[in-house]
Amino acid sequence: MSAPYVDLKEQFIRIFGSGGRLHIIRAPGRVNLIGEHTDYNDGFVCPMAIEPQVLVACRAREDGKVRLASTVFSDSIVEFSVQEKIRRGEPAWANYGRGVAAELLGAGIPLCGMEALYTNNLPVGGGLSSSAAIEVSTAFCFLTLVGQTMDPMRLALICQRAEHEFSQVPCGIMDQMIVSTAQAGKATLFDCRALTKQYVSIDPKDLRVVICNSMVKHELTGSAYAERRRQCEDGVAFFQKEYPSIRALRDVTCRQIESAAGKLDEVILRRCRHIVGENARCVEAGQALDQQRYERVGELMVQSHQSLRDDYQVSCPELDFLAAEAMNVRGVYGARMTGGGFGGCIVALCQPRSVEMLTGHLRETYKQKYGIEPGIFATTATAGASVLE
């Protein structure tokens, strides 16, 4: 048994007491290689699961009570019952668990009570989907304790609804999908409308993915995210007047974007231009990855960052600096901001021999510029959530 499991079990016993059968569940974080803000526009994304993860120790209770604790968020125990109506509440992190329980019950899954302790080596708020990892691991806990399994895509949709209803974040399906369905050594080119996926190889002998956390999170995030969604909807309404078959920005062409110049509000036009261009970049990048055309993938990643910075306007100086500096290192194919924006992380695709040089360069230059020590790690593509024991 590896040391992290021993530590987690010992902490569980300190909090909840001994006895009963313990299960250990893992759910990975994810990084999106390209395809940003396209998921809620019925578009394409290309994420992969990463090595940092959420681990949960859990055991069943017979009285219907659910008691949750976290080594990251708080030492206090959050309690609710699966035999009563489940409501949102404080602390906010526990709404992921509350929401998943409520949605599983709503889907007709009979649940038992549970005690669960979460530990997490994903940077919270870093744009690496710690929330989806908590949701999916919670669902695995409940299902494991009642001896059930579920199709991974159905599980992802249940977890997405939990985030909508209980955390009140109108997220797309990407995060929960990749945390549930990822394959080791593969990224996923995912169609967010058809819910279909194509796995593309990330060979660790050829490629390493380096994630650098700016360690900043600007306060615009929540309001700006909702604003961008509204702006995309306004864009769809504009194009539907002339093209009634358009259902989402996924259906808009580059030519239609060009013809809207001077007719559509300039800010809305820029938002639409990013989404339409990003969908095209994402599909091409997935194909190029599969064909091992890494230079082209890198070019598309750089174009993606420029579009997120200039047209979608969700980057920030810290992310711009890190993305630009990464491209100054030999062996780096491409770099871009990843996640919702206004802080969080960049992702860089590079040759394995360049990892040490890249991490050293980013750490030194970023600290010189901003006085902040960035969080940096290299990873490869891992499998989705699973029961470890």
Q: Which residues are catalytic?
A: 175
Amino acid (1-letter code) at residue 295: E
Q: Is 388 helix (H, G, I), strand (E, B) or coil?
A: coil
Q: What are the structure tokens assigned to 137, written together?
A: 């691991």
Backbone angles phi, psi at 49, to 5 degrees: -80, 145
For residue 372, how many other CB atoms are within 10 A of its CB?
13
State how far the Cα of 243 lies from the Cα of 7, in Å rounded to an integer: 59
The answer to whether the beta carbons of residues 29 and 49 sit under 8 Å apart is yes
Which two tokens mark 269? 């036009």
The structure tokens listed for 205 are 């002998």
In angstroms, the CA 182 to CA 322 distance is 27
> Quick one: angle between helices 266-290 and 294-310, nearest 10?
170
Q: For 163-185, b where at least 16 C-beta lie within 10 A, e where not — what string?
A: bebbbeeebbbbbbbbbbbbbee
User: Distance between CA atoms of 55 and 137, rounded to whole angstroms?
Assistant: 8
3-state secondary structure 295-313: HHHHHHHHHHHHHHHHCCC
Per DSSP, the three-state class of 209 is strand
Point out which residues pair with 49 in neighbouring strands: 30, 382
For residue 101, count CB atoms less than 10 angstroms from its CB and return exposed for 0-12, middle for 13-18, buried for 19 or more.
buried
CA distance 33 to 345: 12
Residue found by looking up tokens 């306060």 in the block: 219
Query: Rounded to whole angstroms, what are the CA distances from 140 to 72, 87, 135, 143?
Result: 20, 21, 9, 5
C-alpha 193/C-alpha 170 separation (Å) is 16
